Structure 1
């Protein structure tokens, strides 16, 4: 087996002597094949290059215009945690003390021989590893806080549109990505509508759609159980990039299903224009947000269905005033028994309420009715004709509601139809 690949580390080396800077860069690359070293010859040029995104800065001390300590202070003003090594041939306790006070990460004197460069490479590697670990921990803490906040917000009854907006903002902020989106799957048109998003061109949210086939990242995500991570869309072979991503210069990203592969609601995705290696924590973060959205959507759909069901059942009661209405729970225990239908059965509310089906009716009735009651609890409306004392009744067994603890309820409504079909 070969050696494990070393992590990539980008270094900005500032030294006013070009020859020494290039020599140091060559030694560093030799000591660690994962090093990428850029050299500049002045602190002012170094400040201009910082936004290019380096993992570590190595600087000489004795430089014109701005010495290494002054350069360090300027770096700390914008990048308080960036690893910074003062690598100087002019060393003293006074300089070392001043560097420490200014926030230097490490202090190393130049000396003859290659051993000093090996030591510098080791110091850089350790500093960057520590910085990345600390940054990763802080990022995880922020992500976990964002998930907790979003979960609490989802319970406030904020509505799906508001929740989607907060979700995409949380994902982009938690991962530092330019784009995030919630796509809703539309089976009728076999595409995914951009319901909410961050970073997209004006007018696209609520209007733009991508294909739901496996040729797009979102469509591919619909077919998978695991998150889809793209390191570089330009070299991706599992699917092609849809116009929505290509026109925005997307390179890397994560997408996860909202819902399940068997019953997908849509896709949550986040993207960046830079090549990015996402961590397992990043993937878990996006997946956690998608899970919150899934729960909220299921809850919204359930509440909508229940509202519709209750309206429908109220209509039934209003149109069947001379029938009966029985409310029962998952144990087939009657919670409410009302209506003139009770008189037909020769019962009073107290004879039924608080008792189970088999406690009220004889075995032959229980045998016929129990499957219908169970089917109603499972969400399947049941309709049948029943004769009582020579009179015909239309009987409906219906799902009614589910309480917050998951309890299922059902309703039985009856209406006399004796003679209704004799004409």
Structure 2
């Protein structure tokens, strides 16, 4: 997996004297080659630049026409309350400094002769941006962790998978500020992945569109590599091809992770953006956390489905057990289950057996024979005997059964072995 690169520091320097602005930009970039500096010659131009592009820090002069540095700062704070802002001015006074602090300036520096002022400015910018990114990163991690926890709680409410998928992709796009998110279901028989749920995609694609499961798609490559796949620029990607689903939506960057396990993948969770972006390790962890919630929910539904089907087969077997009955009982010889076609012949039914003890159901002469054998079965000894009841002859089997919830219980199977009457 390719690790994300350290992001550059983008600075907007506003000064009404173009020569000074360009000189400052050159010195800043010389002090730190990780700086990318753009200049503006007025506060109004600076506000327009901020609306068009993202910057990590603003450096502004104070004495400018139309709008001075304090007024510019107040306008910036109205839309970007946390953006680092350095007032870098040739006019120094306690009054200006006080106004700047009241308006929410991040730092205040006076222009002085010599290049050391730019060294100091570069250090202040770097420190402010590092602090801002750390605080923003912490807040983002907290939000992402809360989103994963909320999704996990939502999954436990018993919602159906399609509803959970919708909630998951909304959480991912909101947590990473991406335009597109998707859940792809792997279809081995077709060697592709179906767009099972999605946000941001063109209408009509969810439930219909599919991408290849090989290296012709990011999702297919994710299945092959068994690790999260991070793409910073799909246009320059060489590991796999960009499928039409991504190219048609001008996708540039994205993350995709496996839902399920590498050995038994259910599908892929992906999120994408049309803007070039370097995703962080925390971003990757967030997407994996959401995928893990989906994995657990899918496994739980599959297990519950298996249990439902097993119970249906079990009940069908009991209800249709021919010429006899199947019974389960506890340590008190109380019937837990009573089923089978033969109950009608005995004049019995599940309703008048289940919840009642052996003594409450059968007469004493039957209890005298069955009770010791029932108890021997509970002790682990299989019992087989023949018994007559209401004119019918039965072969009876009693054996121990280990259960998860009730420990050992007894099971009795009775089979009518009477000679058929004339005409039967």
Give deviations 1:175-196, integer Å, cap 9, x for gaps.
1111111111122212111111
Structure 1 83/324 Cα, relative in aligned 2: closer, same or farther at 3 Å? same
How many residues of Structure 1 are paired with residues of Structure 2 in the alignment? 383
User: In the aligned structure 2, how far is the partner of 1:254 from the partner of 1:44?
Assistant: 37
Deviation per CA, 1:277-314, whole angstroms, max 9, x where unpaired? 21111111111111111111111111122222222222
User: What's the offset of the Cα at 1:267?
Assistant: 0.7
2:23 is aligned to 23
Q: TM-score, normalised by structure 1?
A: 0.81
Change (3 A) 1:149 1:6: closer
Within 5 A, what are the aligned runs for 1:26-105? 26-51=26-51, 52-105=53-106
Structure 1 residue ranges without an equivalent (≥5): 366-386
Q: What is the rounded CA distance, in whole Å, between the counterparts of 2:223 and 2:202 in structure 1?
A: 24
The worse-fitting range, judged by mean Cα deviation, of 197-206 and 26-35 is 197-206
Distance 1:36 1:324, change over 3 A: same
Alpha-carbon contact 2:396-2:412 (below 8 Å) kept: no
Q: Given that residues 324 and 337 in structure 1 are in contact (C-alpha distance below 8 angstroms), is that contact kept between their aligned partners in structure 2? A: no
Tell me if structure 1 keeps the 8 A contact 2:58–2:85: yes
Seen in structure 2, the aligned counterparts of structure 1 residues 6 and 359 have a Cα distance that, compared at 3 Å, is: closer
- The equivalent of 2:351 in structure 1 is none
- Name the SS of the counterpart of 1:223 in structure 2: helix
Moved over 4 A (4+): 326-329, 334-344, 346-353, 355-358, 387-394, 407-420
Q: After superposition, what is the alpha-carbon deviation per residue over 1:67-101, rounded to whole angstroms, capped at 9, x for unaligned?
A: 11111000001100000000001111100000000
Q: Deviations over 1:95-150 (max 9, x none)?
A: 00000000000000001100000000000000000000000000000001101111
Asked if 1:308 corresponds to 2:329, the answer is no
Q: What is the CA–CA distance in structure 2 between the aligned matches of 1:347 and 1:241, rounded to whole Å?
A: 77
Counterparts in 2 of 1:284-363, with a 5 A limit? 284-320=285-321, 322-325=323-326, 336=336, 338=338, 348=370, 352=374, 359-361=380-382
The 8 Å contact of residues 182 and 195 in structure 1, kept in 2 or not, is answered as yes
Taking the TM superposition and a 5 Å limit, the aligned residue runs for 1:187-336 are 187-320=188-321, 322-325=323-326, 336=336
* 1:109-124 map, 5 Å: 109-124=110-125
When normalised by structure 2's length, the TM-score is: 0.80
Is the CA contact 1:217–1:241 (under 8 Å) kept in the aligned structure 2?
Answer: yes
> Cα deviation per residue 1:322-356 (whole Å; 9 max; x = unaligned)?
44436699xxxx99564679999x98589658x88
Relative to structure 1, is the Cα distance of residues 285 and 96 closer, same or farther in structure 2, using a 3 angstrom cutoff? same
Structure 1: distance between partners of 2:303 and 2:261: 16
Output one character per residue of 1:217-249: Cα deviation in whole Å (capped at 9) or x when no partner: 111212333211112212222211111111111
3-state SS in 2 of match to 1:360: coil
Asked whether the 8 Å contact 1:352–1:360 carries over to 2, the reply is no
Q: CA contact under 8 A between 1:6 and 1:33: conserved in structure 2?
A: no
Once residues 305 and 108 of structure 2 are traced to their aligned partners in structure 1, the CA distance between those partners, rounded to angstroms, is: 65
Describe the shift of the 1:327–1:62 C-alpha distance in structure 2 as closer, same or farther (beyond 3 A): farther
Query: RMSD across aligned C-alpha pairs, in angstroms?
Result: 3.6
Tell me what 2:167 maps to.
166
